[in-house]
Every structure is written in C-alpha cells, then in structure tokens.
Structure 1
Amino acid sequence: MPKTFPTGLALILAAALSGCAMPGPQSPAAISAQDISRLEQRQQLLDAELSSLRGEFAELQAQMRSQQAQLQALGGRPGTEIDTRAGQITAHVQPIAPPTPPRAVAPAPSSATDTYLRAFSDYASGRYSQAIAGFERFLESFPDNEYAANAQFWIGECYYAQQDYEQAAAEFLKMAERHAQSGRTPDALFQAASAYQKLGREGQARQIIDLLRQRYPQSAAAQRNLEL
C-alpha cells in the first residue's frame, strides 16, 4: 500500500524533486538602500528621543535640588520629606500656620540726593514753581547738606527766569550771606546785581558789584561787566 504524506510535506518533496528551491530568508546583501535609509531615520529619532529624556531627567534633578533647598529653608521641620521615585518629585510638608501680616511701615523719606535731583530736573525742564518747592523742601530737610548753597542759588535762578527780579535778588543775597565760602557765591552776587538792574535800581546794583569785586576779585563773576 503506497505511503501517504501530509499535504504540506508532499508539497515540499514535490518541490525538491522538481529542482525548485524553497525561498529562504533574505541575505544581508538583499537589504535595499531604502531599508537602510529607514533604519538610519529611525536611529536618529531614537537618538533625539534619548536626548530629550536626558534633558527632562536633568530638569527633574534640578527641581529636586530646589525642593530640598526649600525644605532646608523651612528649618528641617519634622514630617517633611521628598519622594523621588520614578523621577517624581513630591513634597509632603506638615501644615504651617499662615504668617502674621506685617505691620504697615511708613515709606522712607527721600534721600537728599533724590530730593535735590528731582528739584533740579524741574528747573532744567522749565517747571520753575515745582523746582522752587523742591529746593525749599530740600533746604528744610537737609539744611547742612553740601548742596544747600547750590539749592539756594537755583531758587534765585528760578525766580529770575520767571522775571520776579525782586524775589530773585533777595534769594541770591540770602545765598551769599549764608554760604560766603561757596564757589557759587560770586555768581549769586552778580545775578543779584543784574536783578536790581532789571528793576531800574542801578545804585543797589553798583553796590553789589563793588562788593563782589572786593570780596572775590579773582572770580570769573568779578571779571564780567554789567552795564550800569
């Protein structure tokens, strides 16, 4: 009785007898350039993903260090811990009583320099009334400041610019009386004489010019001419 073979096996034998080889796995030489390109692209994607994961890990480490620093700042309160498992950062802190609201603190007064510079900015911008108020505030708050003489001089200049020559002369003379050693005093005397000249009071103007040249003969103001 002839032997029978399973269908699959019979097909294999038939193929062998007919001289046809069964297809086997592709050899490395059979991989196409397109396959290699796809593999390279996939490798690049994997490298990029790995680089991103490394960046995320570094960021998690930085966050963990920040959390640890915050917990140390709390004074190592009992019950404070950090869980870093699987890259997760969580902080478990015991409840802390809300801080007491700080008491209202009065704003610190402006410094002498700030007050002076604000007033001078007003003068330079032509806001003479504001400048006068600022310089007077400066002199009231800081009468012994090194810029006190200058502040008094600029008050005179503000009134002079407003053509209030009477008040300007008074402010310049006040400056010359209180700050005789200031380098601006000769200019203050000259401006006082100029203000009196504007008022038509040439006698007073001449007296001040004579005083200027007597006390400060080497000053630039003493060399200036005032038509009297």
Structure 2
Amino acid sequence: MSLQIWGLALALALGLEACATTRYKEVRSPPESDGEQASFPSVDTTVVSEAQALEAKVQSLELRLIEFEAQLRTLLDQQDSANGAVMGRFSALADEILELRRQIQGAATLPLKTAASAGQGPAASTLPSKGVNVLYDRALQAFDLQDYAGAKRLFAQILEQEPQGQLADNAQYWLGECAYAVEDYTGGLDAFKRVFGFAETEKDDDAQLKLGYCYFKLGDAESALIEFKRLTVDYPQSEYLQRAEEQIRRIRAAKASRP
C-alpha cells in the first residue's frame, strides 16, 4: 500500500466532518438574523456538556489515528496480505471519528432544530436511533481492540434492529472485516457481497477491494484478478484504485513467472 493512499485516508478522517464511509450528510442551520435568534431558547447546558465530551473523545481518537498511521509506515515494505487486519483497524478508527463528528454536529444543532420544528408535529427521522449509534460506536471500538467476536455480535445486532437503517450497510461491511480479520475468508466473501444489496451504499468500492483479497487468500488468483479488475472499471475514482492495480500487476507477474 502507498503512503499517498494512507495520507489521503488520514486527511479525510481528520479534516472532513462527513464522509462516504458513514453516508451521513452534514446538516447546517442557515445563518439567523437577530430577530430569529431571539426567538430560540438558550442552548441547554447538558447538550453543551455532551458536545464537549464528544469533542474530547474525537481529539483523543485523532491522536490515536495519527499514532496508528505512523506505525503503518513500518509495514509498507511488507506484502499487502500481511496488512489486511491493520487496514481494517485504521478504517475502524476513521469511521469512529467521523461518527463522533456527526454526533457533535447533531448535539450542537439539536436545540435550534427542536425550537424551529415546534408546533409542526412529528417528522420522520432520517438518522439512526440513538441506540444504534451507541452500538455502532461500541462495535468499532471492539474491532479496534481486536475483539472481533464482540464486534461481530454488535454489528449483527445493528442489522437486526435497523436492517434498512442509515448504518446498516456499514454494519454489513464491518461484518466482512471481522471475518477477514480472523481469516474466515469464505465468510468474508459472503459478508462483503451482501454490501451490494444496499442500493445507496458508499461502502461498495471498499467491499469490492476486499472481495479480491478474500479470493486471493483462498488461493483463487483468477477470481481475485477479476474482482480487482472490476474495481478499476466500476469505481475509477476510488481511493483504492492504485491498490487494485498493484494487485493486478502482482497476480499477472506471478502467472507469467510460472513454468
């Protein structure tokens, strides 16, 4: 894997408040005039405290992610097959940071949105329930701690509670990562393929890359080659494009060297 790719992943994780990995769109309230501002109640101190606590957690995770990226530099000379679990842990940290940023944004705008919607009746929520958010955070943390069985259980619970929710495709993808981390590559194939059943998923190129790795780990170089090539065709703008192209070159070189 290249430093450019990890650098890009790190920049996305630390510099953006919304990202494809969680499929959340940032919601910002428009600027308010003095008259409009006066009509809203003051921000509840509890909400502010919660937002501050989340921000502190984000800062802690950012430091951990920076440290983790530094550790990755020592692995760059090793084969990608040795870095599969490492890549998953890096992605888990990035997802966790992005989810916490979304929670901070939601906590900061909650009083304003509540006041603005007063008297309008209940509206259907497009965001996951609080309980699912908590499960997702715990699952990512378990994965980061290499508690893959615990992470798998929590991701499965998310799918059971909200099978078509905003976090369902992410949970399905991470079930694949859990299987891959424990070398259950057949299980990983099944889990990653199920990601494509979510029409609006943005985990599709992630899953496509891991299909190639799963087949390669199972000794099926031909199927791995097909999956890596499919990524280059179907997702030409993917951040994983160079990784797929590198694997294609390696597989072809290995085939050419055989007697």
TM-score, normalization: structure 1? 0.49
The TM-score, its normalising length taken from structure 2, stands at 0.43
**Structure holding more helix per residue:** 2
Structure 1 or 2, whichever has the larger Rg, is 1
Structure of greater relative contact order (alpha carbons < 8 Å, 6+ residues apart): 2
